[in-house]
Amino acid sequence: MKNEAYVALGSNIGNREEYLLKAIQKIQFHPSINVENVSSIYETEPVGYTDQTEFLNMVIKVSTDLSAFDLLEVLQDIEIHLDRKREVRWGPRTLDLDILLYNHENIVTELLVVPHPRMHERAFVLIPLCEINKSISIPTIEEPLSTIIDQLSDKEGVR
């Protein structure tokens, strides 16, 4: 598989852990995707739209022959098959699958922006990402991940 990507998973409705684990199974089952590494599962305080229940978040590393857009399509299909519900845009959801990084590419389109535009302000993404790759460099971020994690005020919201 010639491409490397990092995917963030999140859930805060229903059997959250089951949604995450089923999503990873479906990703692994895809013939053109291999799951290379998975972070721990973190329980996290909601950020942004805070009037909702706690999330379970994690990050996985995958290798794939798919383009970033085809990978996005597969992830969106998995969200739908795991009864993705999102009544409010930033509100509670059964499952969220976000492409964080795709190789070291910068992709800016209506459909997909990579690196994920809000990842640098999300401890619930950076902490699991750092767990599985301490030395990862993010094209749009100069500082080391550990510095940013230390600066994030909500890191205590991740456990």
Ligand X SMILES: Nc1nc2nc(S)n(CCO)c2c(=O)[nH]1
Place of tokens 């990862």: 136
* Parallel/antiparallel/unpaired status of strands 3-11 and 96-102: antiparallel
Helix (H, G, I), strand (E, B) or coil at 109: coil
84 is catalytic: yes
Question: Is 92 among the residues that bind ligand X (CB under 6 A)?
Answer: no
Residue 107 CB burial class (10 angstroms; 0-12, 13-18, ≥19):
middle
Catalogue the long-range contacts made by 114-122 (C-beta closer than 8 Å, 24 or more residues apart).
Answer: 114/68, 115/139, 115/140, 115/141, 116/8, 119/8, 120/148, 121/152, 122/47, 122/152
Q: What's the token pair of residue 32?
A: 């053109």
Question: Is 47 among the residues that bind ligand X (CB under 6 A)?
Answer: yes
Catalytic residue among 98, 118, 122, 159: 98
CB of 1 to ligand X, least distance (A): 25
* Residue number with CB closer to ligand X (19 or 55): 55
CA distances from 73 to 68, 86, 141, 143, 151 (A): 9, 18, 26, 31, 34
CB of 10 to ligand X, least distance (A): 3
- Of these, 17, 18, 37, 49, which contacts ligand X (CB under 6 A)? 49
Distance between CA 115 and CA 137 in Å, rounded?
11
51 is catalytic: no
- Of these, 6, 19, 55, 102, which contacts ligand X (CB under 6 A)? 55
* Residue number with CB closer to ligand X (34 or 43): 43
Question: Is 79 among the residues that bind ligand X (CB under 6 A)?
Answer: no
Question: Is 115 among the residues that bind ligand X (CB under 6 A)?
Answer: no
Question: Is 6 among the residues that bind ligand X (CB under 6 A)?
Answer: no
Question: Is 102 among the residues that bind ligand X (CB under 6 A)?
Answer: no
User: Which residues form the catalytic set?
Assistant: 84, 93, 96, 98
Which residues in this chain contact ligand X in the complex, by CB under 6 A? Answer: 10, 44-49, 55, 57, 90, 96, 98, 124
